[in-house]
Amino acid sequence: MGTRALGIVALIAVAAASANALFVVPPDAVQGDAQRIMYVHVPSAWLAYLSFGVTALAGIGYLWKRDLRLDGIAVAGAEVGVMFTAFAIWGGMMWGRPVWGVFWQWEDPRLTTTALLLALYLGYLLFRRLTDDPHRRAARAAVVGIVAAVDIPIVHFSVEWWRGLHQGPTFGSPDKLLHPTAPGLFVLALVSMVVAFTIAWTWLMIRRYQLARIEWQIEEHGRLGRLSAARRAGRASAPPPADGAPERA
């Protein structure tokens, strides 16, 4: 019930904020309507990184507590994150074409880092697929997720240094929206989009986690079932356990 309410709120929020960003807010003086893509690209990118952070933290949590629910959160983060990452890259490229003249700009740290983020996510998901045993998969995926997450900040800094040395064109920068001198209307539109998208993200995460939980509950049920079936098969022929000397508690 609560999830459904959240879903409706998310839908309304995203619709409203998007309508505002795409139609109500005036276009940018320099970049024109193309700049509107930023209202979608920036929240997507933020959520892509957030998802990966969640995956890494849930992985650490699993290694500590060995609770498969945390692994469910980790896989939810990875799958939801892949979606937002792909979306962010697509948005970045769509924005880049009219503004930069090219689809891809190597020195834009966000674009390059996000592309690498996608590669890391997909590797993580593929890796999960190739391991069967749930606990083994959870432990190894957690480890892979942690190392990948640790790499991301390094990638970001390295590309920033890369750009800094090149002194490339600066008139078309996605950072413009976050600049302190950006008009209040733009900032408000952006913030509302971020909030709306984050609500949608939360809903997606919950749904994916619920799915994961059902999956491992079935799995666990199956495991316990096989365990008791094996016992029943054995108990039919086994004598009761010995109980010689008095037990000392």
Partner 1 sequence: MSALRADAAVALQIARKDALSELRGRQIAGSTLFFATLVLLLFGFALGPDPRRLADAAPGLLWLAIVFGSLLIVARLHQLETEDGALEELARYPIERHAIYLGKLLAGLAAVIVLGGVLLPVVAVLYAIPVVAAWPALAATLLLGAIGLAAVGTFYAGVTVRMQAREVMLPLLMLPVVAPLLLAAVKATTAALGGNPLGDLAAWLQLLVVFDAVMIAAGAATYGHLLEE
Partner 2 sequence: MPQTTIYAAPRTREQTPPPAVATNELARLFGRSAALAGISLQVDAGATVALLGPNGAGKTTLLRILATSLRPSFGSALVHGVDVTLRPDLVRRHVAYLSHATGLYDDLTAAENLRFAAAMRGLPDARAAVDRALAAVDLAADAARRVHGFSAGMRHRLALGRLLLGSPSLILLDEPHATLDADGMALVDELISGWKASGVTVLVASHQAERVTRLADGFARLDGGLLLEAGGQGVTALKPSPLGWPSVVGA
Q: Closer CB to partner 1, residue 132 or residue 243?
A: 132
Q: Which is nearer to partner 2, 150 or 230 (CB)?
A: 230
Binding site for partner 2 (CB under 8 A): 132-133, 135, 223, 226-227, 230-231, 233-235, 237-239, 241-249
Exposure b/e, 24-49, CB count within 10 A at least 16 = b = ebeebeebeebbbbbbbbbbbbbbbb
Residue 174 DSSP one-character state: G
Instruction: Write out the DSSP string of 29-63.
Output: TTTBGGGGHHHHHHHHHHHHHHHHHHHHHHHHHHH
Report what 140 binds from partner 2, partner 1, none; CB cut-off 5-8 Å by kind: partner 1
Beta strand spans in 91-239 (E):
none
Interface map 4-23 toward partner 1 (x if CB under 8 A) = --------------------
Of 9-17, 93-101, 112-120, 169-177, the segment contacting partner 1 by CB under 8 A is 112-120
Instruction: List the one residue out of 11, 39, 58, 37 whose CA is nearest residue 100.
Output: 37
CB of 151 to partner 1, least distance (A): 5
125 binds partner 1 (CB under 8 A): no
Least distance CB 164 / partner 1 (angstroms): 9
Give CA–CA dist 98/83, Å, rounded: 24
Angle between helices 68-100 and 134-166 (to 10 degrees): 30
Q: Does 157 bind partner 1 (CB under 8 A)?
A: yes
Q: Interface with partner 1 by CB under 8 A: which range of 96-104, 138-146, 169-177, 201-209? A: 138-146
